[in-house]
Amino acid sequence: MKRQFPALRGFAILLVIGNHAIHMANIARQEAGLAAVDPFSQQILIILSALGFMAVPIFLFLSGSFFAYAAQGRTSRLLLAIVRKNLITIIWPYLIWSVVFYFLLYFGHGQLFSPIEYVKHILVGYPFNFIPLIIFYIAISPLLLWLSNRIGWLTVLALIAAYQVLLIFVVFPASHSISLPGWTAWLAPPVLVVPLADWGIYFPLGMLFALNMNKMSPWLERFRWILVGIAIVFYSATVLHGIGLWEAPLLRHVFPFAVVLLLPLIPRQAIPQVKLFENIGKNAYGLYLTHLIVMDIFLLITTGVWPQALQFTLILVPILFIVGLYMPQLVMLLLIKSPVRRSYQYLFG
């Protein structure tokens, strides 16, 4: 495993929290019936939120790499044991914080669903939308490893990438003018169709990269500056689309892929405050599951006491970011030092 990956996981969760801080501030403003922020502020928020498109791809790529590192060289029996342990570590916190979130929706926002709808929300990952995708890939990881040994890891990645591209055109028909045959709709699986269309390649890419690092690294190094150029150009195009200066909705799928391929080329020593990012990365899964809840509670309390706070979006967003980053970590720290520290793995993974 690359030494910089733990710090990059911390960077990825910071992107996730920042993107959600912007989104929640905007949603709260709309629900309060306030007008949109001024054009200058809106452009700043679009530039920052566009960075969020690479957050989940980075997180999934690194998750795949960490899993492969743990599974590398294991016998079939030990591999299945690793799969089982990882699934338990992921599923229990996911279920617990999903229930907490639904309680918050009811008591804080008056939103109540039927039992069937709650089951559906958990299956599709509402609001933790990429967790079912990780669960799916970990569950089928022995099959992916077997296929990579039989037909080659590049073939496996090419097939997954082609399937994701097809799903992008199936799931987001308004973003293109291509007419697809009717039978392609049958290739869109229930539950996972949107996560697969958005991020299907990244977990297996991370997993198979970790297992073939010596083969891939020289190739990535050779095309380093081309990847940098692609990332910059397509990120800029995504921002222009968000601002409304250019119609190119599909480009948001391109620049994260280039960024992810650059991750193995970033030296650990080149990352500023690397220890800080590594410490945040250790708590990444717990932060992902709790930051939305913490930020929503903060918004409910703040707007209840001072409704005018929503008018200052550029100030509210960094405050939400700080609250979403540090309050969950404080709770984690207190839990570790408490008599019930054994419950930590069930709550935060």
Q: Going residue by residue through the chain, which has 349 residues, state the pLDDT in tens, using 9 for 90 and above.
A: 578 899 999 999 999 999 999 999 999 998 888 888 888 999 999 999 999 999 999 999 999 999 988 888 777 888 899 999 999 999 999 999 999 999 999 999 999 999 999 999 999 999 999 999 999 999 999 999 999 989 999 999 999 999 999 999 999 887 777 878 888 888 888 889 999 999 999 999 999 899 888 888 899 999 999 999 999 999 999 999 999 888 888 889 999 999 999 999 999 999 999 999 999 999 999 999 999 999 999 999 999 999 899 999 999 999 999 999 999 999 999 999 999 998 999 999 8
Q: H/E/C letters for each residue in 93-140?
A: HHHHHHHHHHHHHHHHHCCCCCHHHHHHHHHHCCCCCCHHHHHHHHHC
Q: 3-state DSSP call for residue 178?
A: coil
Looking at residue 1, its pLDDT comes to 58
Identify which of 251, 121, 144 has the alpha carbon closest to the alpha carbon of residue 201: 144
Looking at residue 174, its pLDDT comes to 75
DSSP character string of 180-223:
--GGGGGGS-TTTHHHHHHHTTHHHHHHHHHHTHHHHHHHHHHT
Identify which of 121, 148, 275, 120 has the alpha carbon closest to the alpha carbon of residue 207: 148
Identify which of 15, 158, 142, 31 has the alpha carbon closest to the alpha carbon of residue 80: 142
Q: Write the CB contacts of 250 (distance below 8 Å, at least 6 apart in sequence).
A: 168, 172, 175, 176
Q: Counting Cβ atoms within 10 Å, is residue 13 exposed (0-12), middle (13-18) or buried (19+)?
A: buried
- Residue 52 C-alpha from the chain's centroid: 9
Look up the pTM and report it: 0.93
Looking at residue 189, its pLDDT comes to 87
Identify which of 168, 97, 92 has the alpha carbon closest to the alpha carbon of residue 127: 97
Identify which of 328, 323, 334, 330 has the alpha carbon closest to the alpha carbon of residue 298: 323
Of the CA atoms within 13 Å of residue 191, those in its CB half-sphere come to 11
